[in-house]
Structure 1
Amino acid sequence: MKIMQEKANDLGHTEGLEAISVAKRSDYYRALRNWGCPILLVLSLIGFLFWYLKIQRYQDVILKKQAENT
């Protein structure tokens, strides 16, 4: 951050602030690029787990109904 402040002072106030905001934005994009795939993977695994448990619950209900009918 100190280096960005020095660059801001060298470039002038408004241009320097714009450079800092661009640098911060690129940090956010870098973090999203690094963490986006693992986060999506975890969310998809959680979704699959809920879907699987829902299917299992309905299978249990269907099996109970079949057992009652026979």
Structure 2
Amino acid sequence: MTVDPLPPRRRPARRRRWPRVLVAVLAALVLFGLGVALGLALDDRPVPGGTQTFVRTLEPLPQRAP
């Protein structure tokens, strides 16, 4: 009885890594930009209970003759 040796293994196809790295870097930049935008938006919000100033111009009253 003869036993055949294992068939030769096929080498996996070499995949290029740069597209994955490029997508990962772009995703990281987008997330960083969104984080910066959110931080600036939260920093620019108005402070509750702040002081409000109103300016009015008063018209002079008519003068009475003595």
Query: TM-score with structure 1 length normalisation?
Result: 0.48
- Extract unaligned runs of 5+ from structure 2: 1-7, 53-66
Residue number among 50, 56, 64 corresponding to 2:35 in the alignment? 50
Question: 1:34 and 1:51 mapped to 2: Cα distance?
Answer: 26
- Extract unaligned runs of 5+ from structure 1: 5-22
Question: Per-residue deviation at 1:69?
Answer: 2.8
Aligned residue-pair number = 45
Question: 1:46 and 1:33 mapped to 2: Cα distance?
Answer: 20
Query: TM-score with structure 2 length normalisation?
Result: 0.51
Structural RMSD (CA):
2.9
Question: Per-residue deviation at 1:39?
Answer: 1.0
Residue number among 6, 10, 25 corresponding to 1:3 in the alignment? 10
1:64 aligns with 2:51: no
Structure number with higher relative contact order (C-alpha < 8 Å, ≥ 6 residues apart): 1
- The structure with the largest alpha-carbon Rg is 2
Percent identical: 9
Q: Write 1 or 2 for the structure with the bigger share of helix.
A: 1
Instruction: Give the secondary-structure state (helix, strand or coil) at the position aligned to 1:2.
Output: coil
